[in-house]
Structure 1
Amino acid sequence: MMSKFAGFLALYLLFGCSTDKLNDISVSESSLANKEVVLDNVIACAASNENDDLVSVFLYPRPGATNIRYYETTDTRLDKNDFDNYTLVDFPLVDVFNGYLKKFEVPANKEKWAIVSFDEAGLTHVSNPIRLKQETKPTEYLPQNVSINASSNMPIFSWTDGTYDDTVIYFQVVSDQLGNLISGTYTIEKNFQFYKLDNVVLNITKSTPENLNRNQPYKFTMLAVSEDNWVNLFTEVDFTIE
């Protein structure tokens, strides 16, 4: 990072997910040949699933994004910054929050590096390398680590880390009972108040959301993400405005 916090934040504001750069790229025919590539310009991260032997590779497809693809190396010993080490793999693309986000569900057979890409405005945009760590650091699912003060229609969410201490950014989603994303924000701090942006470092909410309604069920989802884009902690908690 460029001074740790400053560099990491700068890359997130450029729609990256870590500070690693893909420098001196040698592009092969099997990956991203003959395309003008925009580096560090796709938000993506990955988590091991709680109830099956799959890894979910999440991404935010900006409006207009097409041709979303997933690439992976054979293992983690290969140079993550060399596109020649990545192979295009055709996994189904699954909607998250009714399509606001997407994910690939990847067999958790081996730890490796992964990259996702999409086309936008005639260019191919790629994520930073994602380190799949389902064996060495399986994602923790700890809803009890989240506290919610829902005494007003601007609830306050706070949380604590789990076992792992290398989280560098937190992604929060407030969604409705139908699973529609209401707000999607990133903070460095372990708290967020709906819908105040004072401590938000990246906001993927497309428009200012309406106030939350009393006696209506909502869900709060939080992902704690490490610098190499692995989700250390994944929590989901239902709540209702009091």
Structure 2
Amino acid sequence: MPELPEVEVVRRGLEKILKDEPVLEKIELKRPDLREPIPAKKLSTLVGEKLLSVERRAKYLLLWTKKGAMLSHLGMTGTWRVAPPGDERLHDHIYLHFSGNLRLAYRDPRRFGYFDFVQNPLEHPKLKGLGPEPLTKNFSGKELWESLRGKEVAIKVAIMDQKIVVGVGNIYASEALFAAGIKPTLSAQKLSRERADVLAKEIKKILSRSIELGGSSISDFAQASGESGYFQSTFRVYDRAKQPCVTCGQQVKSKVLGGRNTFWCSTCQK
């Protein structure tokens, strides 16, 4: 599933494509639903309006006009691309037609994506109650430590909780914990204030580095330009079970935590 860096890379790509604020002329649905029904009537409110900005909240994209926004979640395999006439592909489910002969296509083979119409993000059921954005000043070691008080779950499970901090998915949770030297099975409430500072710093560094490298292209992820990301070439523990640790040479361990595969070095992480 695309995580925060991948969604931010897509956002930046769409922002560049839509920088001239084209008018949305038509929303063409090739099917009525994905994970949930697509609210065609509500989204039609946006037709005839200029596309003013592309924002991201957690793993959601918001394509804003003055009347509201189209909310888009990529699900497991969703991608956006420029699709000129003749570039129709299997699993294209939505075409956005803009002025200037610009057409965007949303493609999603597994159909776990999500679309909705939004006017006030703070009131939308998918967005309200979300934790802070990790790349902003609202997220720090102090806020992280305070949010973990009373949390008995493993620290890796805790930092993947969208109410604690948004967008830290499975890949980046494993990588950040390795960089911080914290074992993923540590009880979240036992994380010291000092180690919370280190972990928050590493989360920021790793997410930022992944964005710089275009995200992690595993399975179907691609940028809006169609290019792949390259962060997967820098993985230090993720998906490296039984391989030697890049730091100490000990075998990388793996375990399912919170239903997700987790990778760590028992020597480097305590």
Q: Which has the higher helix share?
A: 2
Sort the TM-score into its range (normalised by shorter chain): under 0.3
Q: Which structure has the highest strand share of the two?
A: 1
TM-score (norm 1): 0.27
